[in-house]
Chains A and B, each alone.
Chain A
Amino acid sequence: MTFEDWFRTDRLPHIYCAGCGNGTIINCTLAAIDQMSWKKEETVFISGIGCSSRAPGYIVTDSLHTTHGRALAFATGVKMANPALNVVIFTGDGDLAAIGGNHFIHACRRNIDLTVVCMNNQIYGMTGGQGSPTTPKGCLSTTTPYGCSEPPFDLCELAIAAGANYVARWTSYHVKELEKAVRAGLETPGFSFIEAMTQCPTNFGRRNKFKQVADQVDYLKTHGVLRAKRERMIEQGEKIPEDLFVIGELMRRNRPAMGVKP
């Protein structure tokens, strides 16, 4: 089996815009899953609402496309009722961090054996480009027409503080690293959170001076710094630019987990 066997080919063409990074992240996730030798009938994909959340509709397994922000609460029911199922959640920054924020921290706290892949494009793409809780300060969106004035959430810090067993952040540029991180998340008992920073050329890029898709991917490549490098910069007294973000594996631990496969 290859990762391509996990796709529902009768659902093509997909809804994603040209240049969207979501397809890259879905590919990385399925490539990681394919290495797990999981059976399709034992695997369930769950999502909420938004561009990212359409992903389960393109995957052949049982899939539950739920209400906005609630994917983790639905997943809690599925996984606790049948721990033999492998449960993977696709979500986005608006779905997970805004309307689903409370479900997110409680799923981390319970440390339920779920793997969450968050496609963070820093915008509400599906509804036409409104600001989200991860829209960086100063960035333009249809609801932050004078530049975003609120500080953004660091979703990985949130997941770590709330108790997740595995936390990593990569980008749609770092495909090999992202695939490995998803695999590590799938292998870790308990709650795994993988944040994938990604480009939204249609609704974020074009309003924020990324004229080409590649410009935004290049931005993700050059502004993501490994934690070790960031710490080195601090040690050396370098000023950390505000737009740098940490990438890499940020937490791996073994807190007691719920809903682990018997």
Chain B
Amino acid sequence: MNNSRISYYVEAALWLGLVGFLYFHSFDFNREIEIYKYGAAAWPRAILILMAIAAIGQLIYNITRANRVEAGMMASAMDDGSEENARDSGNTGLRWYLHTALLVALPFVYINLPKILAGTSDVGSPELNRYKLICAGVLAIVFIILAWRNHVGAVLALPVMFAAMLQDIGFYALAPVFILGVMFLMGERRFNWMAAIMFAIYTLLMLLFVKLLYVGLPTGYVRPFYDFGTWVVTVLQ
């Protein structure tokens, strides 16, 4: 009971925090438009004010009706079991949220840290690429250590990590690792199956998008992954 009360306040605080932050930044573009008397900031501000009202309304509703169960037809129909599921799995504590936030933050470390270390953001720079490889390796180990205790958080973070590395390492080299990672985190342990499925999905995607539809997927900038990516494309096309 007490716990859910805290979560109501946290929820309201998150919304109001977002409103406050964006309202503050609406002064950045609060400029006059000659032909439009309300200016550029009026519309977002109106949205933010309504949002604050709705967040407070939601808080009051939660506190006053905390014991009642919402049983609207729409509410039940929209229910996909994700809430119940979250409660059942026990992934609702503050510790779990912090742990997951840490995992999801790792990709952003990868995006920013090598640039800071190398002092350049020029994609052609070999020094930057070296730092990127080192960072990728270190973060992969950190990721595995953190993921060990929190598979659900890792499932959320792995695709973001994959996306963050996509431009550098390339789709062709990264996809097999990603396929294996997702399967492993979702509880698959039969390694023969994992290898077979990985091969099947990879082949299917390559035939469909590279051979048939000529989608230009990122080949990566960092060697040797770049060479691998271009090799796959040359073989298929």
Partners in one complex: no
